[in-house]
Amino acid sequence: MPHIPVLLQEVIGILDPRPGGFVIDGTLGGGGHARELAKCVGQSGTLLGVDWDADAVRRAKETLGAPEIKRLVIVQGNYAELPAVLAKEKLQKADGLLLDLGLSSDQLAGSGRGFSFEGDEPLDMRYDTKSGNPSAAELLNRLRADELADIFSSYGEERNARRIAKAIVEARRKEKFLRVSQLASVIESAVPRHGKTHPATKVFMALRIFVNRELENLETILEKLPAVVRRGGKVAIITFHSLEDRIVKHRFQELAKTGRATLLTKKPITPTREEIFKNPRSRSAKLRAIVMQ
């Protein structure tokens, strides 16, 4: 399935990037949002694109740029470290920042790192394999059942966390977890499928979030927004599950109450029926935005 940027027109409408402006796409992914942002700021503007995934950065360098924009800076890095990236690249605070916290279709379809249970890739799940973080396989083969259950419950809101964790520990006594198919099979045996949703969905999400410290990174960048976006600049964040959305909602409200930002979305913007029909992966997306003060 080709990459389709989620809530694209809504993002452009919120950030309202102008010719000559400076915008940041902190989660390049498939580059769909970045391409449109580049068109908006034009030849006189600047786009900084950041992604932790080396493959996403490589693809962006191949596909983005002229004729849309002349000043294009693409960096492999964690969006939580944006202040340091700005300093290193000698860039000022931005007029707009976008964070799309969902996986791109490229990552799901063929990253070779096991983000999806639909293929049979190695159980890695790290955006940056050189980050030093343990892979998903390492965690599955090492952690106790109660530790695994806590990850599945806390990061994936999985109701059957304990049953799944117990099944994983029992299975690894016979064979170490190395491949996606092993984990998906054990989960499906422990919690049979009901309806269209695969029983491994929440476990895979939980492992990915935990391995990459996604919630911690999100909290870090939310604390650092004043160092990244200028006064009058806008921040738009797209989340895909309740844990992320809750963090963004509460931080935006806190910034608004203390006079450091104004809410642009009292309630999250969600995809239209037409968008969900064209791109089913967009169905859980929520967009929240603020303007910095």
Going by the annotation, the residues of the binding site for S-adenosyl-L-methionine are 31-33, 51, 79, 100, 107
CA-based angle 74:94:59, to the nearest 5?
A: 20
Q: Are 4 and 32 in contact (CB under 8 A)?
A: yes
Annotated binding site: 31-33, 51, 79, 100, 107
Q: Residue 135 carries which DSSP code?
A: P
- The stretches of 125-228 forming alpha helices (DSSP H) are 136-142, 145-156, 161-172, 180-190, 201-211, 214-224
CA–CA separation, 159 and 66 (whole Å)? 49
Backbone angles phi, psi at 101, to 5 degrees: -85, 10
Residue 145 region, left (φ>0) first, then alpha (ψ -120 to 50), else beta? alpha
Sheet holding 286-292, edge to edge: 71-76, 46-51, 22-25, 94-100, 229-239, 286-292, 261-263
Residue 139 CB neighbour total at 10 angstroms: 19
